[in-house]
Amino acid sequence: MMKNPKKVLMKFVQSYRHSTVPRWIILMADMSMFVVAFVLARALSRGTFFGAYQLVELCIGAALTLLCFLLFGTYRGIIRHSGLNDIFNIVISCIVPLVVLWGCNYVNNNWHILPPDCLMSYRESTMLYAMLICMMVMSRLAAQRFYNDYFRHHRIERRVVIYGAGAAGVITYNALMQDQIYEYKVVAFIDDDVMKLGQHLNGVPVLGYRTVLSPKFIKKKQVKQLIIAIPSIRLIQKRAISNKALDLGLEVKSVPHINTWIDGSFGVNQLESAKIEDLLERESIKLDNSNVRREVEGKVVLVTGAAGSIGSEICRQLLRYDIAKVVMLDQAESPMYDLQFELRNTEQFKGVLSKMEFVIANVKDKARIEEVFNMYHPQLVYHAAAYKHVPFMEENPYEAVYVNVFGTKNLADLAIKYGTEKFVMISTDKAVNPTNVMGATKRMAEIYTQSHSTEKTHFITTRFGNVLGSNGSVIPLFKKQLAAGGPLTVTHKDITRYFMTIPEACTLVLEAGAIGAGSDIFVFDMGHPVKIYDLARKMIQLSGLKNIEIKEIGLRPGEKLYEELLATKENTIPTRHPKIMHAKVRQYSVADVDKEYEKLWDELETLDDMRIVAKMKEIVPEFVSNNSVYCQLDHAGDIGNA
């Protein structure tokens, strides 16, 4: 019984779908095309297929052509993946024998070495190689089409627009056409250059930003994805384009910088999906490294909280300078081990292993911290160790005060005792008009260090908001909730926060240490605050998931809707850098501060949360609790004042 021809063909296709044609077959096919082109060229030129010396002409031409095919490797490529380089090789391998034959003709016409009919004329040889180029190119295009139609799995169609009609845009287009999974349909290029508008690239129109990124165009063309193909695009422009595309329901991807391309070539698998960090990040601040270099080179530096997000990045940046030693101190054993492993196994830092010291210690243990100071005599201290989670500290004011206030006091007192030149404390925007225990403890740490600055030991404070990528930020929480299928939880629909990157924050800290002269509080221009609800919505859009709910769960104890960088009674004056400002704040006397902190220590020993927080409110009058059990202390104060 005769088998179904269609089934036989499909079985053949499945069996040989991943096979490649042997090179010798490709070479034989190319040489066969040469013979056909030779016969056609002779027939068109002389009106006959045969001549007395045709075999001699054929042998000479075939030998030259075969040599060039072998030399330029026209037969080595995988036919179904032929590209511009393969076509270029074909053209070169045909032009070289053509030029050689022209030269032979010229020599023979002048010196009559061979009979005239033994060599093809200029016209014949030109026609021959022109037809051969066309045949070889067309055969490869036909093979690609046949493979795509019959041998390749049916691909999912994906309609896209490419932002950028330059070289990177063309490379991206070619990469999309070679993809094995999706059948990309590029419906438009977008470009800001008015000279390019209305032109076509590979048959695709180049249109303007407003034309393409409009609901009407996206719906009509059924566009699903936008690819930003400008590797050197400015961050502010990339953010604006991505936000517009997301609002239109498009998936956003971008071409990475050319330095990251694998072996100098680009493929679809290298496209980078847009991340929420890209939509929050600002243009990087530019600082003069000479200030920091002058400050830290040749010195012993102590970094507390070294295993945390900020502390570890400070250590990485410090190790890039010619410092004497970086003493990395933290009480968290596992994160400290991870940092040690990272630094010791990173190629960049292998030359400075002798400058690293890793110390496990808690800042509230004064005896242990003094042992560290006595051993290393740090000339600079960057104090990043602190408890930072607002709800936890609201429930544990004893520990918050012990670590954030008296841990800082231990370090500050020892810095003065051992002659440390500069002490840079990392504070937070939550220290401004605090509404929670954590923010109040950081403000109290600011007050203590600021009041104790001396001519020999300068105390400097830096304030900034949330950092992208830190373990305690909202972004990792949202990512976990998305992975679980939602919902995403926000405490209030109107809550806003400032965001900055970890490298930005640490660069600021180092610069503050360099330009500070004592009793200084520096704040950073953090741009515009971000609504957490909008952040959650953007993350859902970026994930591509549907029907993910955003659930409002209510403000947590001590949480406030809006963070501030300066208290209402404070103002700022500019510094040498436009993004860094110097805060003018209330000054406290050393005697008053010492007296009040002794009283706070007495309250701390009672382990009574209400008494501890009440004393904190005396020291920081602007500390007014919000959504907390400690609100009653504020009301009691109001009644008493009345």
Range name among 102-116, 437-451, 566-580 with the lowest pLDDT average:
566-580
Q: What is the pLDDT of residue 115?
A: 65
More confident residue, 181 or 378: 378
291-336 pLDDT tens trace: 889 989 999 999 999 999 899 999 999 999 999 999 999 999 999 9
Query: In the structure, what pLDDT confidence band is assigned to residue 486 with cuts at 50, 70 and 90?
Result: confident
More confident residue, 574 or 262: 574
pTM of the model: 0.69
C-beta of residue 380 within 8 angstroms of C-beta of residue 315? no
Nearest CA to 382 among 451, 455, 290, 449? 449
Domains and CATH numbers, the chain: 14-150 (no CATH), 156-274 (3.40.50.720), 289-619 (3.40.50.720)
Q: What is the mean pLDDT of residues 574-601?
A: 84
Q: What is the mean pLDDT of residues 374-379?
A: 97
Query: In the structure, what pLDDT confidence band is assigned to residue 623 with cuts at 50, 70 and 90?
Result: very high
Range name among 4-8, 22-26, 140-144, 469-473 with the lowest pLDDT average:
4-8
Task: Count CB neighbours of 249 within 10 A.
Answer: 12
Q: What is the pLDDT of residue 12?
A: 46
Q: How far apart are CA 285 and CA 498, in angstroms?
A: 16
Confidence check: pLDDT of 40 > 90: no
More confident residue, 605 or 176: 605
C-beta of residue 456 within 8 angstroms of C-beta of residue 419? yes
The two beta strands, 496-497 and 571-574, are unpaired
Reduced to 3 states, what is the DSSP secondary structure of residue 413?
A: helix
C-beta of residue 462 within 8 angstroms of C-beta of residue 469? no
Confidence check: pLDDT of 631 > 60: yes
Query: In the structure, what pLDDT confidence band is assigned to residue 51 with cuts at 50, 70 and 90?
Result: low
Percent of the chain with pLDDT over 70: 85
What is the rounded average pLDDT for all residues in the chain? 83
The torsion defined by the Cα of 21, 23, 28 and 29, in degrees rounded to 10, comes to 40
Query: In the structure, what pLDDT confidence band is assigned to residue 219 with cuts at 50, 70 and 90?
Result: very high
Percent of the chain that is helix, strand, coil (3-state, to 5) = 50, 15, 35
Select which of 364, 430, 538, 617 is catalytic. Answer: 430
Q: What is the pLDDT of residue 13?
A: 47
If residue 239 lies in a helix (H) or strand (E), which one and from where to where? helix 235-247
Q: Is 320 exposed, middle or buried (0-12, 13-18, 19+ CB in 10 A)?
A: middle
Q: What is the pLDDT of residue 478?
A: 86
More confident residue, 578 or 593: 593
C-beta of residue 560 within 8 angstroms of C-beta of residue 435? yes
Q: What is the pLDDT of residue 641?
A: 39
492-547 pLDDT tens trace: 888 888 777 788 788 888 887 787 777 778 887 776 778 888 888 888 888 777 78
Q: What is the pLDDT of residue 427?
A: 92
Residues 6+ apart with CB under 8 A from 322: 293, 297, 298
Nearest CA to 162 among 209, 97, 96, 215? 209
Confidence check: pLDDT of 640 > 50: no
Q: What is the pLDDT of residue 479?
A: 84
> In sequence order, what DSSP letters do the residues of 472-529 get, joined into one string?
TSHHHHHHHHHHTT--EEES-TT-EE-EEEHHHHHHHHHHHHHH--SSEEEEE---S-
What Å distances lie between residue 492 and 81, 433, 483, CA to CA?
54, 20, 22
Query: In the structure, what pLDDT confidence band is assigned to residue 114 with cuts at 50, 70 and 90?
Result: low
149-204 pLDDT tens trace: 665 556 678 899 999 888 888 888 888 887 777 788 999 999 988 888 888 888 89
Q: What is the pLDDT of residue 583?
A: 76
Is residue 480 annotated as a catalytic residue, yes or no? no
More confident residue, 427 or 290: 427
